[in-house]
């Protein structure tokens, strides 16, 4: 496994996006725990969760509790694992997503997340999505208060624009360590945010990094999966999966990138983790950049 940094913390270059373990179509707990354990066995030391990663109404924090149980039951050393969670979104249980970025909600949510994860301080706490009904500075201000109180050790922001990144960086300083936006072979709308994150020394965490190669956990069952792309051709040349090529390509985009592929089976995260060792030639990278 190769390693990169989030703030001052050294983590694996590939993380585990844990959302598929708790939302619609989730596996049973035995397979979910086996998936987390397979990630740890493969050298993954970054797990991304959120309080809103659940399926039914009334089970907020399902994914956080699952991750805590999986870590507690792992026979090896988990002291180097960074669990990153998020607050500011909700799921009423009907498949929809809500947003709540009020400072009172975020501070309460962070305290609840820390309790579910069984930690005194959350290693990385991310504002899940800007709330259009709440001034950005107020939501970010809640992260500042959480940092000052020691409830969280580092802060991140997600689904944001360059303007919001700059404003949060000005408000949080070194307390802001990461940006998590959608970015993949098929969705490259966050090029500007990736460049700015690299410039500011912030880690860029692409969510749904396999878009265009595989369906996202947020897609419906009819979501399209591409085939025969440049990623598939490069994969055939290396005799690896297109998923590995997509993740290796993301890693090549910037030293600030740490992809967060989702997984609901041990085999999936083992395959994804292997992408950290895949080296693309300059010609292959250029081909994929243009794809």
Q: What is the pTM of this model?
A: 0.93
Judged by DSSP in three states, 125 sits in strand
Q: What is the per-residue pLDDT for 221?
A: 45
**For 249-274, b where at least 16 C-beta lie within 10 A, e where not — what string?**
bbbbbeebbbbbbbbbebebbbbbbb
**Out of 3, 53, 125, 183, which one is annotated catalytic?**
53
Q: What is the pLDDT of residues 198-229, one digit of tens each?
A: 999 999 999 999 988 875 555 544 445 566 78
Selection from 44, 81, 80 nearest residue 272 by Cα:
44
Q: 32 in the Ramachandran plot: left (φ > 0), alpha (ψ -120 to 50) or beta?
A: alpha
Q: What is the per-residue pLDDT for 273?
A: 97
Told to judge if 53 belongs to the known catalytic residues of this protein, a careful annotator would answer: yes
Q: What is the per-residue pLDDT for 228?
A: 77
Q: What is the per-residue pLDDT for 242?
A: 93
- The DSSP code for 241 is -
Per-residue pLDDT of the chain in tens (291 residues, 90 and over written 9): 999 999 999 999 999 999 999 999 999 999 999 999 999 999 999 999 999 999 999 999 999 999 999 999 999 999 999 999 999 999 998 989 999 999 999 999 999 999 999 999 999 999 999 999 999 999 999 999 999 999 999 999 999 999 999 999 999 999 999 999 999 999 999 999 999 999 999 999 999 999 888 755 555 444 455 667 899 999 999 999 999 999 999 999 999 999 999 999 999 999 999 999 999 999 999 999 988
CA angle 120, 4, 267 (to 5 degrees): 85
């Amino acid at each position: 496994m190769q390693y990169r940094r989030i703030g001052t913390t050294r983590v694996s270059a590939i993380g585990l996006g844990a959302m598929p373990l708790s939302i619609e179509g989730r596996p049973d707990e035995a397979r979910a725990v086996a998936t987390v354990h397979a990630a740890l066995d493969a050298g993954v030391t970054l797990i991304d969760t959120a309080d809103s990663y659940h399926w039914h109404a009334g089970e907020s924090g399902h994914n956080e509790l699952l991750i805590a149980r999986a870590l507690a039951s792992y026979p090896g050393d988990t002291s180097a694992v960074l669990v990153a969670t998020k607050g500011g979104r909700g799921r009423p249980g009907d498949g929809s997503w809500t947003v709540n970025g009020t400072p009172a909600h975020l501070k309460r949510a962070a305290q609840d997340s820390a309790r579910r994860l069984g930690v005194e301080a959350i290693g990385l706490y991310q504002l899940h999505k800007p709330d259009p009904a709440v001034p950005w500075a107020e939501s970010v201000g809640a992260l500042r208060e959480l940092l000052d109180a020691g409830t969280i050790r580092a802060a991140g922001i997600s689904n944001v624009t360059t303007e919001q990144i700059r404003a949060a960086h000005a408000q949080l300083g070194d307390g802001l360590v990461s940006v998590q936006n959608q970015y993949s072979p098929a969705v490259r709308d966050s090029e500007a945010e990736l460049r700015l994150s690299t410039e500011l020394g912030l880690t860029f965490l692409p969510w749904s990094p396999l878009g265009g190669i595989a369906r996202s956990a947020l897609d419906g069952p009819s979501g399209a999966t591409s085939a025969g792309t440049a990623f598939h051709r490069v994969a055939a040349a290396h005799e690896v999966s297109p998923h590995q090529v997509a993740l290796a390509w993301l890693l090549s985009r910037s030293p600030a990138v740490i992809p967060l592929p989702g997984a609901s089976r041990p085999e999936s995260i083992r395959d994804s983790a292997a992408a950290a060792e895949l080296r693309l030639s300059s010609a292959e990278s250029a081909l994929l950049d243009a794809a």
